[in-house]
Structure 1
């Protein structure tokens, strides 16, 4: 009997303040969608780092015949200098850092250039002798790329050392900043949702002062009086959370899995499993929103 009364009061309050209830649902939906998108984006950054950092190479380009860099003032790298770099990379001191070493000759570089730039004027004008020898070094731990780079830089015959990680860091920086932007927008919307839930509960409590007064007179407990108002906010917030999870599932399913993943199969994108991993936290956030709003409001408007 008591449960039926509490539920009837709850749904009566929701129907009385239907416009505010819909507003709470929509704001909660938008705010938690931003938060969920930020979490998924951070998972995506982690996936990219795991995939690409394992493929990071340090490339040591040997001096070509016509280099204008100060490191190549002595002219084209000699065979002794090329062999010295190979011996250094194969030495015991570099074993903990170097996984594999690949020597790309002028002929190999010319063949690769012709394949990649076959439709350009450069492909017709360059010759094998104009290419440069290089070492491609795969690392045991990509995080220790700087150690290998420091060992190679400044060696006789080495023109430049290129770390592929430096090319990836700007991408990860943009993604991380996008995550922070999503979190910031989600935070603003969460504050808005708290204020709306608070307002909804306050209006509902003020419109039912007579009923709560009668309940006080007959000895109803504080929890029994406040429970319908708490449920109103919780139901609205949970509906918003459900819409957020549903929106993220649809977005990942059709935009990421069906579109992005099919066009770029070599990239490990987030999937619906990641959304389901994030979903409980979004539901918990919705419950916390309703709880905080109830605590702020009910103590003032329904206290005994």
Structure 2
């Protein structure tokens, strides 16, 4: 009986303040969608780090006629210098760090360049002698790049030792920045949602002050009087959280998992199943913020 009464009072309050409740739902939906987007971005960053770091290579570029670095002052790499680099790659000294390596000639480098820039005018202007020979080295542990750099960078005929991880770190830094921006926007929107919930509860309490006065006179408990107002805020916020959860899952499942995976098959992407981890977080944040906002508002504006 009491439960039915509380529910009746709750939905009665929602009907009276329908426009405000809809506003709470929409603002909560938008703010938690940003939270979900930030979570998806962070999951994708972790996924890509695990995917790419296992495939990261170190490129040992050899000197050419056009090299301008001081290490190439003596001219292009000689056969003996090239062989010395290969011998060190195959030696016990490098074995703890080098998983495998491949030699890439200038002609092979040109083929790869032309394939990468086939839609650019640059593809027809670059010749093989302008591109360096290189050894492409897969590391046992990508974190050991500095050791490999020290081993090979000072060898005659070596122009530079380049770590692909540097480029990946720049990409991941941009993605982390986007994640921080999404969280920042989400925080602002959540503050708006909390203020809207507080305003909705305040208006509801004001419009029903006569009913609450009667309930107080007949001996209704403090919890019985305040619970309908509390549930109004929680239900509105929970509705917004459900919409945000569905949106987050749909983005992960259809946009990232289906479309992006189809467009870039060589890259590991998250899918809808990964987004399910975020749903309890979104629902929990909504309920917690709504409950706290409602309780603080009721203490101030509903004296029982």
TM-score where L is the length of structure 1: 0.92
Gap runs ≥5 in structure 1: none
- 2:11 is the counterpart of 1:2: no
Following TM superposition, by how much is the alpha carbon of 1:150 offset from its aligned partner in structure 2, in angstroms?
A: 2.8
Question: Could you give the per-residue CA deviations for residues 8-59 of structure 1, whole angstroms, max 9, x where no partner exists?
Answer: 1100110111111000000000000000011001111111111111111111
Question: Equivalent residue for 2:31?
Answer: 31
Following TM superposition, by how much is the alpha carbon of 1:257 offset from its aligned partner in structure 2, in angstroms?
A: 3.1
Return the alpha-carbon distance in structure 1 between the equivalents of residues 106 and 279 of structure 2: 54
- 2:127 is the counterpart of 1:126: yes
Question: Equivalent residue for 1:96?
Answer: 96
Question: 1:1-304 to 2 correspondence within 5 Å?
Answer: 1-113=1-113, 126=127, 132-304=132-304
Following TM superposition, by how much is the alpha carbon of 1:5 offset from its aligned partner in structure 2, in angstroms?
A: 0.8
The CA RMSD measured in Å over matched residues stands at 2.2
Change (3 A) 1:131 1:45: closer
Return the alpha-carbon distance in structure 2 between the equivalents of residues 194 and 28 of structure 1: 9
Change (3 A) 1:125 1:183: closer
**SS state of the match for residue 277, structure 2?**
helix
Following TM superposition, by how much is the alpha carbon of 1:135 offset from its aligned partner in structure 2, in angstroms?
A: 1.1
**SS state of the match for residue 94, structure 1?**
coil
Following TM superposition, by how much is the alpha carbon of 1:161 offset from its aligned partner in structure 2, in angstroms?
A: 1.4
Q: Which moved more, 1:231-240 or 1:42-51?
A: 42-51
Gap runs ≥5 in structure 2: none
Change (3 A) 1:115 1:224: closer
Return the alpha-carbon distance in structure 1 between the equivalents of residues 17 and 108 of structure 2: 74
Question: Could you give the per-residue CA deviations for residues 89-113 of structure 1, whole angstroms, max 9, x where no partner exists?
Answer: 2333332221112222345445545
- Aligned pairs, how many? 303
Following TM superposition, by how much is the alpha carbon of 1:258 offset from its aligned partner in structure 2, in angstroms?
A: 3.3
Return the alpha-carbon distance in structure 2 between the equivalents of residues 282 and 100 of structure 1: 45
Return the alpha-carbon distance in structure 1 between the equivalents of residues 145 and 36 of structure 2: 33
Following TM superposition, by how much is the alpha carbon of 1:220 offset from its aligned partner in structure 2, in angstroms?
A: 1.8
Return the alpha-carbon distance in structure 2 between the equivalents of residues 121 and 213 of structure 1: 81
Say if 2:40 and 2:252, in contact at 8 Å, map to a contact too. Answer: no
Change (3 A) 1:255 1:207: same
Question: Could you give the per-residue CA deviations for residues 153-198 of structure 1, whole angstroms, max 9, x where no partner exists?
Answer: 2221111111111222221111110000000000000000000001
Return the alpha-carbon distance in structure 2 between the equivalents of residues 219 and 136 of structure 1: 82
Following TM superposition, by how much is the alpha carbon of 1:116 offset from its aligned partner in structure 2, in angstroms?
A: 5.3
Return the alpha-carbon distance in structure 2 between the equivalents of residues 130 and 174 of structure 1: 32
Following TM superposition, by how much is the alpha carbon of 1:281 offset from its aligned partner in structure 2, in angstroms?
A: 0.5
Question: Could you give the per-residue CA deviations for residues 121-178 of structure 1, whole angstroms, max 9, x where no partner exists?
Answer: 7658735x66543111101111222221232222211111111112222211111100
Following TM superposition, by how much is the alpha carbon of 1:277 offset from its aligned partner in structure 2, in angstroms?
A: 1.4
Return the alpha-carbon distance in structure 1 between the equivalents of residues 299 and 96 of structure 2: 63
Say if 1:25 and 1:240, in contact at 8 Å, map to a contact too. Answer: yes
Change (3 A) 1:209 1:118: closer
Following TM superposition, by how much is the alpha carbon of 1:69 offset from its aligned partner in structure 2, in angstroms?
A: 2.2
